[in-house]
Structure 1
């Protein structure tokens, strides 16, 4: 006798996927961001010779930060391949474990005074492992959240994965804020290690969530119909390289967050006279603003022509980011706080939307690889280099003007590339993109992106 399976578990899958994406990316980004904060505050003193000029030591610590970004495309390629071959879930479990082990390793790493040049060498190696892990994390988290819902809701659900970034950043900032009450010698000696060691607890929580997760619906169909590609990277580079470049070009704007959380923190505390606790407090408040406003970007592009929505989000950034730097330079607390919070809103809303937009660009069978490659290519060129470049400009000119101008250029590039990408792939969230239309033909789906024959939920048994 046959009976219908209980639909409730299928109804829970999208919510469970969204929650797992959010918790997992929060932990991954917490691990990634605590490195940036430590690089701005203490790594120059702990892992490099004390005879170095402080500005040079800070610059070198930011170079080690960039090493993680340099490794992210490698992670995108490796885990993109695995995610497109064996599924999103298993890949995301591996990235979470790798990130946790690398982060705890940094917390246990001896200082320069203890092991000499092996200290910065070990730091770079562990940072590279962090980069490889996070390089495979972002694309998989976006897809596990967006591929298990009707296509018209995919951008909204992808925003759950995006929320992990401000949450992880806020968590990292709050931990360092409370540690700022320590006497400076204690903070340098052992206090900074605590956030890295706390990662062990967070990883266990995230691992439990991901082990309970199901594979995304889109990927289930690809696996069941044996539509996987032998070498996803080869197909991406052969047939979709233009979309990868355009996708990477959409993303410089999201990396201005490193101008706030890394470069501005170092600049404000070391040159402008802000106390460490005061400026960490400003960053924390701005991150709350990011958390609250970021989902509005996904909501906006889901309700209107995405090209218009992107313009409404990005254009204010041309003014607000430069204003933020001059507000910080005023050394007036409320002006610095207002400047930081206002500048946060445009690129936060953009970040909330862009993950879901990029997920619509590539067919399911190569989506993890294409999405990860675009994101991590920009991270390599722009993300890790942002605080390095900003510190170099400041060292060379003694002025913040060049840094302020560069932040506006980030916004200009992102706006131009996003508009070009939407014109090629589709600009209505309630309609299938060109890649999703190709999926519908290849996998036997209807124009809503669902199985044309309306079968039972994939993976559910019906035998009594």
Structure 2
């Protein structure tokens, strides 16, 4: 692949990923800070409204596995462009519609149903004050920009070769099974262990970026605007440490980098949550806690997790395999995390120790799954 073409693909892919995560992060952020008041305040109980808001966030993950199966199969058979157009448009449109929904107090329960349908569409596509609406409405503009740019991107050479081989076999009358079912039959042990590595990713993201915002507001008394500042700064720090994770992967390999990140996350989980708890709402100290627990340690995981998964699937089933590992367990390992943490923090009356124990155990399990995957791969097992 020519260097200029590689740089173009890398740039467009980066922008596409940013748009997808922009859409996804918006809902998670709003679920813990805005939606409980705008769409679920009719319950009359703050904790119940927050749990319902987080459940609307979690239920969306149910659509993820269906999107993974649907787009994964098409991606392996027809190429990535078709799935990219469909998934990006679905995410962009559904996210923008959320931005114009009226409050439940004036529109009734019907608006909650529409909200949930848009959340389902958002996840399927992905495999307070009126001001919160602006980022949601901006999603469609960003989506159209990235679709226009990525339309020029070529398929990878590996995929072209696999597609040519498939077409040649079909022309000779041979049946070559590609897609979801063959992938499950041939790689089921890899899929299970891969889902185990997904657990730390879904848990730490949803603790430190989604759930922590409602904790800061409801238990530490921080103003809403400060929670958004926390998210922005944490994501800014994420960038260099993701790049650092990529550098580590080149030197140490994907598995070692992932395991180091998972173990570091396990070690830092309880202390960083305690730092946030004991900050008593101090913005600077809270930011330090989140940067240490998420922006640094977690991003060693995030930097390598996709390449880790892709190395365990042949080209013919790679799209389906990665989609399965990421989306199928998402409801339990990611979507339910804010709700679980809300219940744990209420049980502990504001003490973060139970959330810390929960996240520590998850990180250790994911590290073990990554090591087991590497051992199977070294033995030539699928």
Please say whether Structure 1 and Structure 2 have the same fold, judged by a TM-score greater than 0.5: yes
Q: Provide the C-alpha distance between the structure 1 equivalents of 2:237 and 2:249, rounded to a whole number of angstroms.
A: 19
- SS across alignment from 1:325: helix
Cα deviation digits, residues 51-101 of structure 1 (max 9, x gap): 420111011000000122121111111100010010012211211111111
- Residue from 192, 202, 214 that aligns with 2:154: 214
Q: Structure 1: how far apart are the matches of 2:233 and 2:132?
A: 21
State whether residues 196 and 369 of structure 2, in contact with CA within 8 Å, keep that contact through their aligned partners in structure 1: yes
Whether 1:335 and 2:285 are equivalent positions in the alignment is yes
Is 1:29–2:6 an aligned residue pair?
Answer: no
* Residue 359 of structure 2: aligned partner: 407
Among candidates 384, 388, 395, match of residue 335 of structure 2:
384
CA distance in 2, matches of 1:415, 1:231: 30
1:204 aligns with 2:144: yes
Q: 1:434 to 1:209 in 2, by over 3 A?
A: farther
TM-score when normalising by structure 2: 0.92
Q: Judging by fraction of residues, say which structure has more helix.
A: 2
TM-superposed deviation, 1:297: 1.9
The answer to whether the 8 A contact 1:320-1:339 is kept is no
What is the correspondence of 1:41-440 to structure 2 with a 5 Å cutoff?
A: 41-135=33-127, 187-188=128-129, 190-226=130-166, 229-230=176-177, 232-255=179-202, 256-330=204-278, 331=280, 332-344=282-294, 345-398=296-349, 399-426=351-378
Structure 1 residues 434 and 19: CA distance shift in structure 2, 3 A: farther
In the alignment of these two chains, the number of paired residues is 370
CA distance in 2: counterparts of 1:249 and 1:51, whole angstroms: 36
CA spacing shift, 1:276–1:426, aligned 2, 3 Å: farther
**TM-align CA RMSD:** 1.9
Per the alignment, residue 445 of structure 1 pairs with none
Structure 1: any 5+ residue segments left out of the alignment?
1-8, 136-186, 428-432, 436-464
Q: Deviations over 1:129-158 (max 9, x none)?
A: 0000112xxxxxxxxxxxxxxxxxxxxxxx
In structure 2, how many angstroms separate the alpha carbons of the residues matched to 1:302 and 1:426?
Answer: 18
8 Å CA contact 1:222–1:365 kept in 2: the answer is yes
**CA distance in structure 1 between the aligned counterparts of 2:78 and 2:5, rounded to whole angstroms:** 19
Unaligned runs of 5+ in 2: 171-175
Separation in 1, partners of 2:254, 2:90: 36
- Report what 2:173 is aligned to: none
C-alpha displacement of 1:305: 4.9
- Could you list the structure 1 runs, at least 4 aligned residues long, displaced by more than 4 angstroms after superposition: 227-231
The answer to whether the Cα contact below 8 Å between 1:232 and 1:366 also exists between their aligned partners in 2 is yes
After superposition, the Cα gap between the structure-2 partners of 1:303 and 1:257, relative to the gap in structure 1 and judged at 3 Å, is same
Q: Supply the distance in 2 between the matched residues of 1:42 and 1:306 (Cα, whole angstroms).
A: 38
- Rounded to whole Å, the distance in 1 between the matches of 2:374 and 2:6 is 26
Shift of residue 323 of structure 1?
A: 1.4
Q: Residue 308 and residue 198 in structure 1: after superposition, are their counterparts in 2 closer, same or farther (change >3 A)?
A: closer
Tell me which structure has the larger Cα radius of gyration: 1
Per-residue deviation, 1:113: 2.2
SS at match of 2:155: coil
Give the alignment of 1:451-462 within 5 angstroms. Answer: none
- Deviation readout 1:267-320 (Å, 9 max, x if unpaired): 111221112222322232222121110122222122235444334332222221
User: Following the alignment from structure 2 to structure 1, what is the Cα–Cα distance between the partners of residues 299 and 6?
Assistant: 24
CA separation of 1:308 and 1:194: change in aligned 2, threshold 3 A: closer
- Structure 2 contact 76–178 (Cα < 8 Å) conserved: no
CA distance in 1, matches of 2:227, 2:38: 21
The 8 Å contact of residues 62 and 387 in structure 1, kept in 2 or not, is answered as: yes
Greater shift after overlay, 393-402 or 95-104? 393-402
Change (3 A) 1:26 1:92: same
